[in-house]
Amino acid sequence: MVSLKVHKDFQNVRYLPFCYLCGRELQDGEVKDGDHVPPKAAFNARDREPALKLQTHRACNGAFSVEDKKVAQLIALRRWEGPSSARDTALKFARYPGIGIGIMNLNVDDAVWRWIRGFHAALYRQPLITELRAIVTPLPRSTLQYGVAKVHPLRPQHALAVSVVKHNRVAGSLDQIVANNRQLRYECAWCESDKGAQWFCMFALDIYDWKDLGSHTGEIPARGCTGIYALPDYSRPETATIGTRPPDGTTEGDPLDAFGR
């Protein structure tokens, strides 16, 4: 089982020899930077240690500075906190009948996926560059059609990821990161496909019990954050813990939240 939980664990991955954002090795003479994963500003001052911070190229990290500000403000909403002044507000919202309030200028899925790449880099000490992925966040995605918001249906992989994470938590076959005064929890299991020879990582992420940021209606129920990804060659990291799927496919407790009871 691979885990990062205490300050020493995070110090051991602070200076990995590659930029987790672009995947390239960091060379002598290149301008380097450090990136908190997720952004430091997303957490209350008392919850900023221990934290995951990874080396990057300064140019790579700087490209996401605006996005980091937006997503930090989004997570702060879970604590009923907002910007100190209207001038500092980075997020734009709109209200849609029958759905509620939507965020207009932040791709939450892409922001969270960047963190998953950071978690992978820290756990397995290798960059993650792949297009073989799917993710579900607590905030449902929607598309505007003639001024009407159409919510995307919940991905079928979500329930599978929830059941796999819960099953392997009981079995003790998860890799995990517990950070930011235990307000961030990431767990993942590597399982082989039904056909064999292909490995997939199924994961769940919770920050401040953030499923409450999303919808709570019958049509769009609250859900946790889960996802699935594979390496380009469908292998698994050498140090990854091997997980299994629940034999009956059932899930105890909340079927939409891997951390729910």
Nearest to residue 251, comparing CAs of 242, 260, 243? 260
Beta strands at 175-179 and 184-192: parallel, antiparallel or unpaired: antiparallel
Residue 99 pLDDT > 90, yes or no? no
pLDDT tens by residue, 131-168 = 999 999 999 888 877 767 788 888 888 999 999 999 99
Q: What is the DSSP letter of 28?
A: T
DSSP 147-186: TEEEEPPPPTHHHHHHHHHHHHHHHT--EEEEETTTTEEE
Q: Which two tokens stand for residue 248?
A: 């009956």
Q: Report helix, strand or coil for 241.
A: coil
- Least confident window among 7-11, 88-92, 112-116, 250-254: 250-254
Would you state the structure tokens that stand for residue 136, as one six-digit string? 């579900």
Distance CA 125, CA 241 (A): 14
The answer to whether the CB of 56 falls within 8 A of the CB of 32 is yes
Query: What is the rounded average pLDDT for all residues in the chain?
Result: 92
Q: Any idea of the CA torsion for 12, 17, 23, 27, to the nearest 10 degrees?
A: 150
Query: Residue 242's closest CA among 183, 168, 134?
Result: 168
State the pTM of this model. 0.94
Q: Which amino acid, 165?
A: V
Name the band, by pLDDT with cuts 50, 70 and 90, for residue 250.
low
Instruction: Give me the residue spans of the domains in the chain.
Output: 3-229
The label of the residue with tokens 């990290």 reads 61
pLDDT of residue 86: 83
- The mean pLDDT of 182-198, rounded to a whole number, is 93
Looking at residue 239, its pLDDT comes to: 97
pLDDT, residue 87, reads 86
Distance CA 33, CA 25 (A): 13
Across residues 100-113, what is the average pLDDT? 91
Distance CA 129, CA 117 (A): 8
With a cut of 80, say whether residue 184 has pLDDT above it.
yes
* Rounded-to-integer distance, Cα 176 and Cα 159, Å: 19
Residues 6+ apart with CB under 8 A from 91: 70, 73, 74, 103, 105, 106
Kindly tell me if the per-residue pLDDT of 173 is higher than 80: yes
Mean pLDDT for the stretch of residues 69-96: 90
Please say whether the dihedral angle defined by the alpha carbons of residues 85, 89, 94 and 95, taken in this order, is positive or negative.
Answer: negative
> For the ranges 62-66, 211-215, 245-249, which has the lowest average pLDDT?
245-249
